[in-house]
């Protein structure tokens, strides 16, 4: 399997139904963190507020990468902290996070990764991959060996080259528009900026 292979998701119908039941998926006209516009928004914290649901999803990630023996799980702030902690708990390893610093992410709070240490990078939702790429850069800058990437939802139309296997609990490609080509803007649908980063 190539380093950038996408692992087929399991139980996607059940996960979609769960997300519908707890109100994760919203419809309207949304400004995403990436600056793109979308008619749908995944309110990830609607699932992350439920430890049992989050635990079940993180168990899928932990199960997929357990054989690769990661020693630490790293996620980007904010939702990635929860995913990293729960995945690490299930793997019995450390869980840490990378914080924003300018246009990149760094490890702070005395978090450390030893050169060659096996690292699993996780996040809640992957759309453009920016947070994941920044986290990968932070890990690799200190010599971490990335053994895989796990996300709860992969919304990317075409994921960026990440240099490691990507696993998602659910694959749900996003419909996105640049602001200058957004049909919702053209129709005058009010733009909402949900959440915060």
Tens-digit pLDDT profile for residues 28-41: 999 987 788 999 88
Listed in sequence order, the residues at least 6 apart from 77 whose beta carbon sits closer than 8 Å to its beta carbon are 97, 98, 99, 100
Domains of the chain as residue ranges with CATH: 6-22+50-175 (3.40.50.2020)
Instruction: Supply the pLDDT for residue 195.
Output: 66
Residue 7: pLDDT band (50, 70, 90) is: very low
Cα separations in angstroms, 104 against 11, 95, 186 = 34, 20, 33
Instruction: Supply the pLDDT for residue 158.
Output: 77
Does residue 80 contact residue 131 with C-beta atoms inside 8 Å? yes
- Alpha carbon 84 to its chain's center: 10
159-188 per-position pLDDT tens digit: 678 989 999 998 888 788 999 999 999 999
């Amino acid at each position: 399997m190539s380093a950038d292979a996408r692992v087929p998701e399991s139980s996607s119908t059940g996960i979609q139904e769960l997300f519908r039941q707890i109100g994760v998926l919203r419809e309207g006209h949304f400004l995403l963190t990436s600056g793109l516009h979308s008619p749908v928004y995944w309110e990830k914290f609607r699932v992350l507020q439920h430890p049992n649901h989050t635990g079940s999803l993180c168990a899928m990630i932990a199960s997929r990468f357990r054989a690769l023996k990661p020693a630490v799980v790293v996620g980007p702030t904010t939702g990635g902290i929860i995913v990293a902690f729960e995945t690490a708990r299930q793997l019995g390893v450390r869980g840490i996070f990378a914080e924003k610093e300018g246009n990149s992410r760094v490890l702070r709070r005395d978090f450390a990764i030893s050169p060659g240490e096996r690292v699993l990078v996780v996040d809640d939702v992957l759309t453009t991959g920016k947070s994941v790429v920044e986290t990968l850069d932070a890990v690799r800058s200190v010599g971490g060996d990335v053994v895989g990437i796990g996300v709860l939802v992969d919304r990317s139309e075409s994921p960026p080259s990440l240099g490691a296997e990507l696993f998602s609990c659910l694959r749900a490609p996003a419909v996105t528009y640049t602001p200058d080509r957004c049909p919702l803007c053209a129709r005058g649908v009010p733009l909402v900026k949900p959440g915060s980063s």
